[in-house]
Structure 1
Amino acid sequence: MKGFSIIIVTWNALEHLKNFLPSVILTDYPDFEIIIADNASDDGSKEWIKSTYPDIKIASFDRNYGYCGGNNRGVPFAEKEILLFLNNDVKVEKNWLHDLNRVFSEGNVAAAQPKMRSFENPEFFEYAGAAGGFMDKYGYTFCRGRIFDKVEKDHGQYDNQPDLFWASGAALAIRKDLFIKSGRFDEDFEFHMEEIDLCWRLQNQGYKISYAPQSVVYHLGGGSLPMGSPRKVYYNFRNSLFMLWKNYSASSLQKRFMIRLFLDVIAAWKALLTGNPKEWLAVFKAHVHFFFSLGSMNKKRRQLQKLRTNPDDPETMLNISVIWKYFFKGTKSFTDLKN
């Protein structure tokens, strides 16, 4: 049986801790620990944890390092075989670790996620992870149970266990040794897509990303950056380019990267023409920052390409355009997308 180190990054989110941490405490599993990675909160979070749950480890940092930096700095406090990066706004079912343990007992699995439902609408999947993540050939991400803004109701249609392209960072379980060996979360990402980048790196090194359908959690979501926020748009566009440049196979970088840039330009001008200049500006800034960072991204790409065991892209990258399927063909579910 695997041991789990549950790492929860928090910054001035005492109310989230009060509402969601109790369910994690009540986890029914014989071998787990909880580590609060505190990004210099000043709202009484550490004091409340110490008085309410004195057995929880607290890793206190000198400033707010965000999701990537907070989790990376929390790992040295972990003593178990499997790291589980859990958002502070996730409620878990009592037996949620058992199916994750089963998944890590199989084959060449490096990382996995539970089934993620919406905290506010529990019958529906949750936007950020649903039943596991995939990516199309141009780098657009989606989930089983969620394509763009269309979220499906969970009626067991995705209770099988395929290999995924990515597992959601809201509840990401990963082998500790592989997390460290693969280079941890890339802190240049700050927020968003860091887990996808990590999962892609692992697949390029020959490992699998999996899914535990009998492990169920409920995610509130939207806490750090709300939907539609220009800052979130900026991070999504910039980090997607970072990720593609670092991890694409040589042939895909040559054939597909310029197409992705062109699609970004279309998205930006669509935002401007539909009365959303802040979104247009966010995409523009994302592209400027990407090109100014190209030197460091090239260095990272060279290092990562040396670690590849397969010169091609992972088989879990679907050879489709989800933009075409969704907006032009009217495909709204993952099942129809695959067909």
Structure 2
Amino acid sequence: MASPSVALVILNWNGKDLLEQFLPGVVKSVYENIQIIVGDNASNDDSVVFVTDNYPKVRIVQNDKNYGFAEGYRRILDQVEADYYVLLNSDVEVSENWIEPVISLMESDPMIAAAQPKIKCQKNKTFFEYAGAAGGYLDMHGYPFCRGRIFDTIEVDSGQYNDAKEIFWASGAALFIRSGKWKEVGGLDPDFFAHMEEIDLCWRLKNLGYKIVYCPDAEVYHVGGGTLDANNPYKTYLNFRNNLIILQKNLPLYDACFRILIRFFMDFIAWIHFILEGKTDFAMAITKAHVHFFKKFWHNARKRTSKQRPFIHHTGQYHSSIVYAYFIKKIRYFSQLNSR
């Protein structure tokens, strides 16, 4: 019996240097039924020429302009046919046999819609990586964190998360998803542009009863920060804006109202913190995020469906505040949390 077909798609924008560094390892990935695609967001460097000249078996699919991460992938995947899509960041180093373990885990349960491998730091491979680590969680206020990473505390991988486990969200750095489920929920929301769009996608899948899982038997190494640095106010803007939108879109109405009101208060505390530190550009980023949220309130409200499930019913949620646990109780490691 033939293995399920896999389309591994790298979205690129002016990333020739990253393609030179990491594409050689990707094309050596061991899987018998795979096509490798570079989806280009209208780069103006020599990315496309580099891939065409050096990797003729890699398919190039080009967008007419830079649509960002979410819409860029939507447009590329509209032109791709496979049983599974793998969305892989261009700054990810892969191990040789990293695809089959994830596909095998997903094939074991038809309700598994999406998954991620273990994601570790490319610059120091003993540590987990910020954006994904050993699987994504959400706290009661919608703050994302990971097994292996809470805020800026990143754990050493000592095998403590070597169990396959249902999680809340899978990282977009190396996201496996059944193509049929991608199409069922409409893929990534293009209004996000970048950041947290994979959390929204996974939440929509979970609201339909599907599972998101973490596979420890596959390992990749992520550079991180290749598009926007952590100290970039625009990244702060996207994170605060998109976090509010995922709550609005995916929670039952009463739950959304309650949690968003709490987030307004917590965001205000963050705004005060930035002002006191003299980081007015970051404070302004929070202000702009809230202005956008209200400006697009009804636009995003129309994206709500009748399928929202109460937050407490989802696997992969932390029943308390990760902010309180981290900053007040000084909890630094996921294993110290009482999570579902």
Q: Which residue of 1 aligns with 2:54?
A: 52
Task: Select the residue among 184, 189, 194 that pairs with 1:191.
Answer: 194
Letter of the structure 2 residue corresponding to residue 11 of structure 1: W
Q: How many residues align?
A: 335
Residue 312 (structure 1) shift: 5.2
Matching of residue 64 in structure 1 with residue 62 in structure 2: no
Deviations 1:111-164 (A, max 9, x none): 000000000011000000100000001010000000000000001000101111
Residue 48 (structure 1) shift: 1.2
Letter of the structure 2 residue corresponding to residue 188 of structure 1: D
Q: Which residue of 2 aligns with 1:316?
A: 316
CA distance, structure 1, for counterparts of residue 326 and residue 115 of structure 2: 27
Task: Select the residue among 266, 273, 282 that pairs with 1:263.
Answer: 266
> What is the SS of the residue equivalent to 1:318?
coil
CA distance, structure 2, for counterparts of residue 175 and residue 296 of structure 1: 28
Q: Which residue of 1 aligns with 2:138?
A: 135
CA distance, structure 2, for counterparts of residue 190 and residue 64 of structure 1: 10
Matches within 5 A, 1:1-339: 1-107=3-109, 108-301=111-304, 304=305, 306-308=306-308, 310=309, 313=312, 314-338=314-338
> What is the SS of the residue equivalent to 1:137?
coil
CA contact (8 A) 2:166 2:315 kept: no
CA contact (8 A) 2:252 2:310 kept: yes
Residue 261 (structure 1) shift: 1.0
Residue 77 (structure 1) shift: 2.8
Deviations 1:172-197 (A, max 9, x none): 00000110110111011001000000
CA distance, structure 1, for counterparts of residue 72 and residue 37 of structure 2: 11
Cα-Cα RMSD: 1.1
Residue 265 (structure 1) shift: 0.6
Residue 321 (structure 1) shift: 0.3
Deviations 1:48-106 (A, max 9, x none): 11111111111111111111111111112322200000000001000001111111112
Deviations 1:1-24 (A, max 9, x none): 322101111011101000001111
CA contact (8 A) 1:35 1:77 kept: no
Letter of the structure 1 residue corresponding to residue 333 of structure 2: S
CA contact (8 A) 1:114 1:216 kept: yes
Check 1:80–1:238 CA distance in 2 against 1; reply closer, same or farther (3 A cut): same
Deviations 1:270-311 (A, max 9, x none): 11011111110000000000000001011112xx2x244x45
CA distance, structure 2, for counterparts of residue 338 and residue 170 of structure 1: 27
CA contact (8 A) 2:128 2:148 kept: yes
Deviations 1:210-234 (A, max 9, x none): 0110100000010110012100000
> What is the SS of the residue equivalent to 1:96?
coil
Residue 43 (structure 1) shift: 1.0
Give me the TM-score of the superposition, normalised by structure 1: 0.96
> What is the SS of the residue equivalent to 1:71?
helix
> What is the SS of the residue equivalent to 2:71?
helix
Unaligned runs of 5+ in 2: none
Letter of the structure 1 residue corresponding to residue 171 of structure 2: S
CA contact (8 A) 1:35 1:74 kept: no
Bigger shift: residues 252-261 or 132-141:
252-261
> What is the SS of the residue equivalent to 1:202?
helix
> What is the SS of the residue equivalent to 1:288?
helix
> What is the SS of the residue equivalent to 1:283?
helix
Identity %: 43
Unaligned runs of 5+ in 1: none
CA distance, structure 1, for counterparts of residue 268 and residue 104 of structure 2: 44
Give me the TM-score of the superposition, normalised by structure 2: 0.96
